[in-house]
Amino acid sequence: MRDARYDILFEPIRIGPLTAKNRFYQVPHCNGGGYRDPSAAAEMRKIKAEGGWGVVFTEQCEMHHTSEITPFIELRLWDDADIPSLNRMSDAMKEHGALAGIQLAYSGVNGPNFYTREVPRAVSAQPIRTFTNDPVQARALSKSEIGDLRRWFVTAAKRSKAAGFDLLCLYGAHGFGIFQHFLSRATNHRTDEYGGSLENRSRFAREVVADIRDAVGDTMGLTMRVSLDETIGTLGFSNAEMREFIEMNRNLPDLWDLAHGTWEDCSGPSRFKEEAAQEVLVKGIKEMTDKPVVGVGRFTSPDVMVKMIRSGTLDLIGCARPSIADPFLPRKIEEGRIEDIRECIGCNICITGDMTMSLSRCTQNPTFMEEWRKGWHPERMNDKGESSNVLIVGSGPAGLEAAWALCRRGYDVAVAEARDVLGGRVARERILPGLSAWGRVQDYREYQLSQRANVEIYRESPLDAESILEFGFENIAIATGSHWRADGVARQHVTPIPIAKGAQVFTPDDLMEGRVPGGKVVLYDDDHYYMGGVCAELLARSGAEVTLITPSAYVSDWTNNTLEQATIHARLAELGVRIVLNRGVTEVGADHVMSDCTYTGALERYDAEAVVMVASRQSEDALYHALMARQAEWADAGIRSVKLFGDAEAPGPIAWATYAGHRYARELDVPELGDALPFRREITQLAP
């Protein structure tokens, strides 16, 4: 079944006293659940094990109450009371033969301790380094407290063992985790034997590893996640110094887990980072140690994975996002089903769950974090209900996902698309600068549908209510999408902006259709996600003189949650885009716009031969309402249900559309829940 050239990926690998069944290593990753949603997180990890991963890790687990990075979304191992929920997780991970790993984190200078209210303790006294510049400083650990911390790590290791885990990961990458803070001169200013030389800065790591080995080393594999390059020059833990560290401590842990120095670098979106982007930073490290090396790089191609191993770069293929987008990635390679792999698109929507303290979503895998809450399995659908066919109008991410999920339930599915290409917004957005990988949303589903006998696709088929009533389908799914407004209505303006006659106003839809203005262009961004920044990039690259005006304090503000805001700003600045923050647009003239200061209202004039409005989107729901108005005719036409979903119901990111399409497919012919909660949840137990 499996192509022999991928055999190497399925070789067992020893990690300390244990053996992973293959080289597929799901590195620790967040999911927005943490201790608050233990069963949801456990079921998600179980499905990865079922999907064939040889190693499955938890997310960050706070190992002591004196250090906590966020109040809600990580795991905790503060005392024995946390063991049962972690045990549920490890049992789930091991059910299908994976090694169960737990990532122990002491956040030090990254932990503001908002919940615990403990004074943060760090390697050196410093302001807390978080995404939100919290107004809290950490004090330096005293020598005796370093001793305490060593003891706490041992206690946490023993508790991890009691909770059923096989592997421990000591966290010191991405700028997070006290091991990196000891290693880096940016966070270690100590003058005692824990500071100064690299030998001294690595002392804590050596001590903790020795302590833990004594305690549990005969039965647990000990991994260390270290930063490949802190990317702040020679002051930080550079790639060169990291290599020195590994050379000096060649066989310290049972496995080296290598990840980039900041989370933004490590989990860079596809807009800015290619697959295997960390290769140059990792190459050659394997030769410095006898222990296996795992690295990440948004690996979705088995050929690239094999190359990483054959070239002697890595021993194990580390994946976070690719394992979210397709938990069954290893199984699909094993079964020779490469074309069935649902590749991560690198949009980083999954990370926004963590950043917004909500359960993570995945654009490609709408079942992510719904495995337990809703009982959704990424590879298995619920049984077909009593009706037999569905007409889906619109082939954007919502329509395509609905079609793919419905045909697997056994329905006969027809998809009607007005345009000559499928994909809806994805077909248009994938041609924007940096967004080509997003096309995988369309390509994956289009290919899968083409393999199915029970799916018919009709391109160039704009439908109206009349024709739908004539067709005789039982269920009508309206996924007709949305379009960008040209009148500026969004957040700053709830009524249209005054626009002078003769003013040249464009929307992102115009740009995506190839109508790209030149000369002096003002782009007004009151949407705040990626579209404004991407359109500014497109305009600048095609030669326009671009001024981006936004009422926000940041360009593409919401992309702070996808870890790309700073890179977007830098890219636009490099391209010569003039960035005007904290200002709105009050009026569009024929050759200028008037702009108001968000705070004072002070007006300024900006020359503009054309204006691009990146404001909000309007649902294409006219067809739905036309059908609803003719409900009396449904029975004669054989129609049992009409449902509106995706951007046509309410515009949102692509992940919202695939989720909506999937949900529609799951719930068709299923009795409605009425007022009941549509998902399972766990409730904090009341103390007696």
The site partner of 291 among ligand SF4, ligand ADP, none (C-beta below 5 to 8 Å per kind) is: none
The site partner of 27 among ligand SF4, ligand ADP, none (C-beta below 5 to 8 Å per kind) is: none
Q: Which of residues 314-333 bind ligand SF4 (CB under 6 A)?
A: 321, 324-325
CB-nearer residue toward ligand SF4: 347 or 486: 347
Listed in sequence order, the residues at least 6 apart from 477 whose beta carbon sits closer than 8 Å to its beta carbon are 390, 391, 392, 393, 399, 402, 643, 645, 664
Phi, psi of 412 (to 5 degrees): -80, 125
Find the shortest distance in angstroms from Cβ 618 to ligand SF4: 26
Count Cα neighbours of 372 within 13 Å in the Cβ-side half-sphere: 20
Q: Which of residues 594-623 bind ligand ADP (CB under 6 A)?
A: 620, 623
Is residue 472 within 8 Å of residue 557, measured between CB atoms? no
Cβ-based burial of 242 (10 A; exposed 0-12, middle 13-18, buried ≥19) = buried
The site partner of 362 among ligand SF4, ligand ADP, none (C-beta below 5 to 8 Å per kind) is: ligand SF4
Please identify which residue in 362, 657, 665, 668 interacts with ligand ADP, judged by CB under 6 A.
Answer: 657
With binding defined as CB under 6 A, does residue 363 bind ligand SF4?
A: yes
Count Cα neighbours of 606 within 13 Å in the Cβ-side half-sphere: 28
Q: Which two tokens stand for residue 516?
A: 């790209």
With binding defined as CB under 6 A, does residue 448 bind ligand ADP?
A: no
- DSSP 8-state assignment for residue 678: S
The site partner of 350 among ligand ADP, ligand SF4, none (C-beta below 5 to 8 Å per kind) is: ligand SF4
CB-nearer residue toward ligand ADP: 272 or 471: 471
Q: Which two tokens stand for residue 50?
A: 């079922």
With binding defined as CB under 6 A, does residue 424 bind ligand ADP?
A: yes
Residues in contact with ligand ADP, counted by CB under 6 A, come to a total of: 26
Find the shortest distance in angstroms from Cβ 458 to ligand ADP: 9
Please identify, among the stretches 66-74, 192-200, 347-355, 469-477, the one whose residues bind ligand SF4 according to the rule CB under 6 A.
347-355
What is the rounded distance in angstroms from the CA atom of residue 362 to the CA atom of residue 32?
A: 12
Listed in sequence order, the residues at least 6 apart from 206 whose beta carbon sits closer than 8 Å to its beta carbon are 249, 252
Amino acid at residue number 605: R
Please identify, among the stretches 278-286, 361-369, 597-605, 639-647, the one whose residues bind ligand SF4 according to the rule CB under 6 A.
361-369
With binding defined as CB under 6 A, does residue 347 bind ligand SF4?
A: yes
The site partner of 425 among ligand ADP, ligand SF4, none (C-beta below 5 to 8 Å per kind) is: ligand ADP
The DSSP code sequence of 176-214 is: -SHHHHHH-TTT----STTSSSHHHHTHHHHHHHHHHHH
The site partner of 163 among ligand SF4, ligand ADP, none (C-beta below 5 to 8 Å per kind) is: none
What is the rounded distance in angstroms from the CA atom of residue 81 to the CA atom of residue 551?
A: 47
Find the shortest distance in angstroms from Cβ 568 to ligand SF4: 16
CB-nearer residue toward ligand SF4: 325 or 490: 325
Closest CA to 440 of 397, 472, 500: 397
Listed in sequence order, the residues at least 6 apart from 187 whose beta carbon sits closer than 8 Å to its beta carbon are 108, 109, 122, 123, 124, 126, 129, 180, 181
With binding defined as CB under 6 A, does residue 167 bind ligand SF4?
A: no
The site partner of 94 among ligand ADP, ligand SF4, none (C-beta below 5 to 8 Å per kind) is: none
Amino acid at residue number 546: V
What is the rounded distance in angstroms from the CA atom of residue 268 to the CA atom of residue 272?
A: 6
The CA–CA distances, whole Å, from 671 to 211, 385, 624, 676 equal 57, 10, 22, 12
Q: Which of residues 391-420 bind ligand ADP (CB under 6 A)?
A: 393-399, 416-419
The side-by-side arrangement of strands in the sheet containing 126-127 is 121-122, 137-140, 126-127
Is residue 318 within 8 Å of residue 304, measured between CB atoms? no
Please identify, among the stretches 135-143, 477-485, 604-612, 636-644, the one whose residues bind ligand ADP according to the rule CB under 6 A.
477-485
The site partner of 324 among ligand SF4, ligand ADP, none (C-beta below 5 to 8 Å per kind) is: ligand SF4
CB-nearer residue toward ligand ADP: 622 or 670: 622
Please identify which residue in 221, 346, 434, 481 interacts with ligand SF4, judged by CB under 6 A.
Answer: 346
Please identify which residue in 350, 405, 511, 610 interacts with ligand SF4, judged by CB under 6 A.
Answer: 350
Find the shortest distance in angstroms from Cβ 145 to ligand ADP: 53
The site partner of 364 among ligand SF4, ligand ADP, none (C-beta below 5 to 8 Å per kind) is: ligand SF4
The side-by-side arrangement of strands in the sheet containing 578-580 is 505-506, 610-614, 520-525, 545-549, 578-580
Q: Which of residues 335-394 bind ligand ADP (CB under 6 A)?
A: 393-394
Please identify which residue in 647, 665, 666, 669 interacts with ligand ADP, judged by CB under 6 A.
Answer: 647
Please identify which residue in 308, 392, 463, 668 interacts with ligand ADP, judged by CB under 6 A.
Answer: 463
- DSSP 8-state assignment for residue 567: H
With binding defined as CB under 6 A, does residue 364 bind ligand SF4?
A: yes
CA 19, 25, 30, 33 torsion-angle sign: negative
Q: Give the binding site for ligand SF4 (CB under 6 A).
A: 321, 324-325, 344-350, 362-364
Binding site for ligand ADP (CB under 6 A): 393-399, 416-419, 424-425, 461-463, 479-482, 620, 623, 646-648, 657
